[in-house]
Amino acid sequence: MLHVSGTHLVTDDHEPVRLRGVGLGGWLNMENFITGYPANESSMRYAVRAVIGDERAELFFDRLLASFFTEQDAALLAGLGMNCVRIPVNYHHWESDDRPLEIDPRGFRHLDRVIGLLGAHGIYSVIDLHALPGAQNQHWHSDNPTHVAAFWQHRHFQDRAVRLWEVIADHYRDHPWVAGYNPVNEPADLTGKVIGPFYDRLVKAVRAADPGHVLFLDGNTYSTDFSIFREVYENTVFVMHDYALAGFAHGGPYPGYTRGEWCDKNQLEAQFATRSRFQRETGTPLWVGEFGPVYTGDPAMDRQRYQVLRDQLAIYDAQDVGWSLWTYKDVGLQGLVHAAGPYVDRFGAFIAKKRRLGADRWGSTMEESADVLAPLHALVETEFPDWRPYPWGARYQADDLIRHILIAQALLPEYAELFRGLGDEELLALADSFLLDRCVHRHPLLDLLADNLTR
Identify whether the C-beta of residue 185 lies closer than 8 Å to the C-beta of residue 136.
Answer: yes
From CA 3, how far away is CA 10, in angstroms rounded? Answer: 6
Break the chain down into helix, strand, coil percent, rounded to 5.
Answer: 50, 15, 35
From CA 255, how far away is CA 311, in angstroms rounded? Answer: 11
Catalytic position from the list 31, 41, 95, 290: 290
Coil, strand, or helix at residue 97?
coil
Query: Phi/psi at 95 (nearest 5 deg)?
Result: -145, 135
Question: Distance between alpha carbon 62 and the CA centroid of its chain, in Å?
Answer: 20
**CB environment 366-386: b (16+ within 10 A), e (fewer):** bebeeeebeeebeeeeeeeee
Catalytic position from the list 31, 41, 186, 368: 186
Coil, strand, or helix at residue 32?
helix
Catalytic residue list contains 290: yes
Distances (CA, A) of 285 to 87, 217, 243, 320: 20, 12, 19, 9
* Strand ranges for 39-166 from DSSP E: 84-90, 124-131
Catalytic residue list contains 186: yes
Distances (CA, A) of 50 to 134, 351, 409, 425: 23, 21, 15, 19
Query: Phi/psi at 104 (nearest 5 deg)?
Result: -95, 115
The DSSP line for 175-223 is: -TTEEEEE-SSS---SSSSSHHHHHHHHHHHHHHH-SSSEEEEEPHHHH
Residues in a beta bridge with 261:
258
Identify whether the C-beta of residue 230 lies closer than 8 Å to the C-beta of residue 192.
Answer: no
Coil, strand, or helix at residue 126?
strand
Report strand pairing: 337-338 vs 440-441: antiparallel
Annotated active-site positions, please? 186, 290
